Structure 1
Amino acid sequence: MNRSLVATVGVCAAVLAAWALSVAQSVFAPLAFALFVIAVVWPLQRRLQLDLPRLVALAITMAVTTLVIVGFLSLVAWAANRVGRFIVSDAAHLQALYASFAVWLEEHGVALAELWTGYFSADRLIRFVQQLAAQLQTAVSFLIVVFIYVLLGLLEVGDAYKILRNWRRGRLGEVLLVGGARTASKLRRYMLVRTLMSVMTGLLVWAFAWLAGLPLAAEWGVIAFALNFIPFIGPFIATMFPTVFAVAQFESWQMALVVFACLNIIQFVVGSYLEPRFVGSALSISPFLVLFAVFFWAFLWGIPGAFIGVPIVIAGLTFCEQVPSARWVADLFGQPSDSS
């Protein structure tokens, strides 16, 4: 078959697959998250099943998983609420700063009031609130669907393992079994390292904000900890928020630049120096591919996609290692395991 035809068909198939994933986000996004959660918590479920009935072990595993997720979301909500309340309580100071900034812009030929009127209105504010409420409702529904998928998936992991182990129709069973086991192991390691690095980032941001005299130091640390789970985009947002806040609080561009530079140094040291040494070669992925994965899956699925994008890439490269015809993909964008 003509190679150009094969390439064209492959590109068309990829575009159609991306379109299907985007249209069916409500189906595939919770499924991807559920598989990720199952891969992370399955060792706990398997260990508990050695001493307890399967349903009791499942109940404990789901309770622990739910507690961790609820605790994480509650911590983020606490930090966001504290920052919001501080902004409301400091509204007079912010209004005065905005007025002085508007005067400075008008002196340089920029009518900030006209720009504000053009982009912000009561109707747009109402639509924004409505969209925010709809997104919160969607997030709750998303978590419920993920919970159900995880619950049912943990019950079927053992049966799926037996089916794949006894597969007699080609190498598909072996590929899925070995690839699934290695993917789960890599995802657990990825999540462990990402959590440790996020905790370290949060502590360093808190310490710097406290030493710099920036209000809400603990809250900025929590926000940096939470956003660090989203590569590239998360650290950038976690850096910009305190910088903008520093402009308002210190009323000094020099101090804001110091805050911006120091926060970026923290993100660089943790993300580009320490994290690769903890991860090692087993999870080594091309930085270009990581950046592409974050933006691509964020484009398809929004914030959930930005979070799950890198684990999807890890899974894809791991399965490519098991298929000789696709191993070049893992060699090009990642680091194959030594045992493959």
Structure 2
Amino acid sequence: MGELTTGRGLNQQLGLSRAKAMGHLEACQTFEIVFMLNLMRDVLAITNELNKCLQKKEQDIANAMLLVEVAKRRLQVLRDDEWDSLIAKVSTFCIKHDVLIPNFEEPYVSSLRLRRKLASYTILHHYCVEVFYNIIDWQLQELNDRFDEVTTNLLHGIACLNPINSFSSFDIRKVMRMAELYLDDFDESNMSILEKQLASYIVDVRDVDERFSDLNGFCDLSKRLVQTKKHSNYPLVFRLVKLALLFPAATASVERAFSAMKFIKNDLWSQMSDDFFSGCLVPYLEKDVFDKISNDVIIKTFQDMKPHRIQL
């Protein structure tokens, strides 16, 4: 109590907090931190458009595939041609803010190494090869792994089936390559039939039947095929359309659902029935829809579900 009265305990706590804050500040004011933050900003800026495109609820697959290629090429340009400009940018920042710039010809000393043992390479090699090249190569490898040949053929095929702009993206070869991935749905005999159906289908819906000229996506296409009875004329094409219709729901929508599950069903609220969990999850995912529903409608719906002793 004496320390609290005189303020010594409080001063000690403030002094320790201030010292800890100064320690963190000094740790951040290093060339390594400045270099890593600038490199991270450049890499994230390159992949930003692709990330935003893939997170959209209504995905534009054709544009997404183009953005994948754009990101790969920009990362390669960053790796091949922009090392000098990155170092110049980092050095300018360090000079402006009095951050020590190391001598790149000296041996690299890692703070993680036991007794700070000298490495067998220079500081320049560390930042250029061990950090700069490795991070970009890892990012390129990640894009190549996620968008390999199979995934690329699938996405290109879906994009070619899209009816937007009067089926302007249609390419029968890419659609056939997509169908080859579904061995259980399209055997060898079906593949030859599918090719003929696709040839007739595209002439029908693009050049002959004007009812297909104003479609905005696969949902509109599937509805119009059923309404016009063309789903029975081109059953294998309709099967492809249904597969394409399901694909976006198997990517970003499912990822969003799993992310939402962590908020709804957490450690503090882990026991709930499936019906109740589904009832919580759907409004969370479809916020745009439920924001338009008034409280009065919700109250009335709840009141009509079963008799209640108290009228809400």
TM-score (norm 2): 0.25
Which structure has the bigger radius of gyration? 2
Higher RCO (CA < 8 A, seq sep 6+): 1
